[in-house]
Amino acid sequence: MLDFRDRGSVKKVTNDFSGRRKFVVTFIMICMLALVVRDIHLQVISKQFLKHQGDMRQVDEVAVYAYRGMIMDRNGEPLAISTPVESIWINPRELRYAKQEGIRAMEKLLNLPEGKVMEWIKEEPRRQFLYIARRVNPQLGEDVKALKLEGVYFEREFKRYYPAGGVSAHIVGFTNVDDIGQAGMESGYEKQLKGTAGSKRVIRDGQRRIIDDVESINEPVSGKTLELSIDQRIQYLAYKELQVAVEENNAKSGTLVVLDAKNGEILAAVNQPSFNPNTRNNLKESVYRNRAFTEVFEPGSTVKPFVVAAALDGGYIKPNSIFPTNGTLQIGRNTVKDVHNYGTLDVTHVLTKSSNVGVSMMSLKMPPKYLWDTYHQLGFGISAGAGFPGEASGRMKDYKRWHDFDRATMSFGYGLNSSALQLARSYTALADDGLLHSVSLLKREEDDDVVRVFSAKTARSVRKMMETVLTKEGTAYEARVDGYSAAGKTGTVKKATARGYTESSYFAVFAGMAPVNDPRLIIVVMIDEPSAGKYYGGLVSAPVFSKVMAGALRILEVAPDQEETMPILLTQRKPFDANEVK
């Protein structure tokens, strides 16, 4: 029997269901409308903003490295060039999940100890960038890429290569791992050589790997090429001869500089021992320092020709002046000595015999300021200004503090010091008829900074006097140059210590030029602490001068001016005495 009392409940349930359905439908409609509104907002209103945000996550701007400028010698021979290489870095947060076999294979390719990469990952688990190899061979980089390890990335860089190796290392210098100049011309001309990096836009994938180039923003600008004054042929010749001399004389070190007497260009500058800039493991500053430009020594008797020239130019002596040397000269409580008692000498023979007494007598005839001015004009106490970083200025005592004995010792090269480059530069005033040249490590045609120090007549006269130094009567018979006339001066210099001058350590020096009538080249050779028995400049350094000068003149195709090497001997000749060589 139907209970009409339940009809109200049924009606109520039906109304509740209908209300819920309306609510659900309404809610769905509202959600759909919200989605439509959101879609319109994203697709129309915020389109550009979202595109920019997406690009920021996928499009990136990266640097494009510029080639570092090449360094060449005067004939276009490369001394420093840049080659493309690969640098490898990892994202430790990604690589930690890579297969261990792949990581071990990568370690083996890169010569890393087994487990080293995982050790780095454990030490820096949160890092996202870590170099594991810098500037590796591109082929090696391809081998590592072939492993397809997640979290391993590659970067194109450039590595500096030095074809001449140790021959020109002290001049050219080297760069560090970031290709920034650290020594030599690489450091001194960093701004010109480094170039300007460019930039480009690239697309990266979700793992930040570059998958495509978008556009170039700025093109990289390569560094400028540096053309040096160095002639690599002469540089190599000088390097080998100096190396032999240092080894044969068991010397501490050696330095040699070759100058063009006509325009002051530096054609060669070498040091021993040298180093290989391509493999610089455990390299010390004392090894790569360019001693030819940055270290000083007392030049000894190599300055005597300047004293003679100054005295002649100032009218304090005449070419036929006579000096009764007699072996010693007492100056107050001090004594100047010669190796032997040479008796009475004329001006020429003062240089021939390298008489300390004779040149001291000349010096004492001149006012202190006059002699100081002459040295100063010749560049002593002033940087040579070749454009090399760290060039030495040397030292010269103020003439106001000179005593008579100071004037004497200054005349034979004690009490002042200079670098090998400064000494070579000073000799241009004798080689080019009294004109002192500036010096340059960059190739140039002419010297626009020439200063007259001596008269042309005096310079020519002193050159002829210096020619006698290379005779059997002189102190540098071993300096003769095959096929060419040559002139020069020896120097055997006691080394200074905290307790004064030592009797056991010397600088063996020779400075000279050739051919005599029209000098083309000037060469200075300095051997530091020869200890194989010989230590005189005429026996240690003069033979190096002879070999390098002969070879260099032939390289430059300078015509010989003598049929025979044997110079004409002076009158009153006597047997060659090695004890007189100094």
Q: How many angstroms separate the Cα of 566 from the Cα of each of 461, 473, 516, 541?
A: 21, 13, 14, 19
Cis-peptide, bond into residue 519, ω within 30° of zero: no
525 close to 494: Cβ distance less than 8 angstroms: no
* Residue-level length of the chain: 582
132 close to 88: Cβ distance less than 8 angstroms: yes
Torsions phi, psi for 97 (to 5 deg): -95, 0
Distance CA 96, CA 102 (A): 11
The active-site residue, picked from 82, 229, 301, 419, is 301
For 116, the enclosing helix (H) or strand (E) is helix 116-123
Cα–Cα–Cα angle for 157, 285, 425, nearest 5°? 105
Q: How many angstroms separate the Cα of 251 from the Cα of each of 42, 92, 239, 243, 570?
A: 82, 52, 15, 10, 33
Two structure tokens written together for 216: 């170039």
470 close to 351: Cβ distance less than 8 angstroms: no
Q: How many angstroms separate the Cα of 288 from the Cα of each of 174, 238, 344?
A: 9, 18, 48
Q: How many Cβ atoms sit within 10 Å of the Cβ of residue 324?
A: 12
Buried-exposed string 540-558: b where 16+ CB fall within 10 A, e elsewhere: bbbbbbbbbbbbbbeeeeb
334: β partners: 331
Q: How many angstroms separate the Cα of 86 from the Cα of each of 93, 195, 256, 262?
A: 22, 19, 39, 46
Distance CA 424, CA 443 (A): 18
Q: How many Cβ atoms sit within 10 Å of the Cβ of residue 282?
A: 5
Active site residue 438: no
For 358, the enclosing helix (H) or strand (E) is helix 356-365
In order, the DSSP letters of 428-468 are HHHHTTTEEPP-BSB--S--S--EE-S-HHHHHHHHHHHHG
Relative orientation angle of helices 232-248 and 542-555, to the nearest 10 degrees = 160
User: Which amino acid belongs to residue 294?
Assistant: T
**Pick from 313, 402, 395: nearest CA to 360:** 402
Cα–Cα–Cα angle for 41, 43, 44, nearest 5°? 70
Catalytic residues: 301
